[in-house]
Amino acid sequence: MWLYVVASLLGLFLLRRWHRERQTVPRLSEKHVLITGCDSGFGSLLARQLDARGMRVLAACLTEAGAAQLRAATSDRLQTVLLDVTSSKSIADVTAWVRQRVGDQGLWGLVNNAGIAIPTGPNEWLSKEDFVKVLNVNLVGLVEVTLSLLPLLRRARGRVVNVASVMGRVSFFGGGYCPSKYGVEAFSDSLRLEMRNFGVKVSVIEPGYFKTMITNVDNLEKNFYTSWQKLPEEIRTAYGESYLKQFVKMLKILQNTYNSNLSLVTNCMEHALTSLHPRSRYSAGWDAKLLYLPISYLPSALSDALFALFYPKSVGKA
């Protein structure tokens, strides 16, 4: 009997959740959304997706070529602007540009999607500057863009959608990418609490591994060999060239698991922007849901042992 009661309660819970998540925000065609990193990947697809839905998309691209390509694939409603998230002047200029377009109604949505992964590699192979380059784009730039646009978002009682990663839950490779995504998670959590009374909702997207420019294997492999060539002889001797080759081999094996269906991520972003009841977090991809997130809840000793099974082995110790 208790089994039936539990099953019934679970069914009612899921039905209520399904109903709540299908409720959408009214008058979407009047709402402006700024998306960063629209040159390719998730940003480009989301811009086209929201444009097709009739929303007023403000697409921020790093290059004019990326902006032109996006304009050619969308309606006249979509507007593009060049944005370098590592430049305070560029952010200030874009903020003024957005303010002119949204007017008194404010900015409904901000999607912080811009990001990079290179330089990456074992931590000892990298310099402080390598870490800073990634952190400036993925975390510091995201924070500055958000803070600059918060007055417009508060005016509209709108949405902030920050793209983190499953690598903001578990970290099994070096460089600035994982620390930056952990930082995005932390910033989003504090911002969500602070904005609660203002009616601004903050969501985090946690994709697994997808085929984008960030995960391009050729670029990553070139990055590894470049870092290796710069290393002092002492460090190269300690790791051994076999470590480098194993690292590249592991990367190529991993790419076979990358998901090419980017809409799994952009659908989460769209829901966070258009649903009356958006989630605080969205996991996108089977690997995120079934592998990385469960691993993140394991004791560190177990997760370390699991990742160590696939990690390259160095030739020496100290």
Residue 244 makes CB contacts below 8 A (sequence gap 6+) with: 224, 225, 228, 312
User: Per the structure block, which two tokens stand in for 167?
Assistant: 């690598």
Residue 141 to residue 15: CA distance in whole angstroms: 39
Q: What residues are labeled active site?
A: 177
Q: How many CB atoms lie within 10 A of CB 306?
A: 14
Residues 58 and 33: beta-carbon distance below 8 Å: yes
Residue 95 to residue 98: CA distance in whole angstroms: 5
- Closest to 87 (Cα-Cα) out of 59, 62, 120, 116: 62
CA dihedral of 226, 227, 229, 230, whole degrees rounded to 10:
120
